[in-house]
Amino acid sequence: QIQETRSFSAADHLKVIDEHVGPNLFDYIIVNNQPIGAELLQRYAEEGAEPVKIDWDQLRRLQVRVLAADLLQPGQVAWHNPRALAKIVLTKIASQSH
């Protein structure tokens, strides 16, 4: 639903998934570690949205490993860059297959 997850932190998202499918589904969570510019934050606000907050302490308590990287898609919207996201996923998979 629209705005159903507004003000959710990264840990909040994981907790809700755990409630629906069971705990410990994820070993990792991938988060953006770069600030979002004022112009994009204003667009978010105009749409009644806000960026997901990264609550490091809560993520540690959930015992999930955090992969943080620059994931912002260059441009006019605050979307994840699919190439950057794919690179992180593929690099992690490759490192675990050795």
Mind listing the pLDDT tens digit for each residue in 35-56?
Answer: 988 988 888 888 888 889 999 9
- The number of beta carbons lying within 10 Å of the beta carbon of residue 64 is 18
Residue 36 is given by DSSP the state P
Residue 78: pLDDT over 80: no
Mean pLDDT of the chain: 88
Q: How sure is the predictor about 72, in pLDDT bands with cuts at 50, 70 and 90?
A: confident
Are 88 and 69 spatial neighbours (Cβ–Cβ below 8 Å)? yes
Residue-level pLDDT at 2: 61
Q: How far apart are the first and last CA of the chain?
A: 41
Percentage of residues in the chain having pLDDT higher than 70? 93
Return the domain boundaries, the chain. Answer: 10-96
Question: Is 20 in a helix, a strand, or coil?
Answer: helix
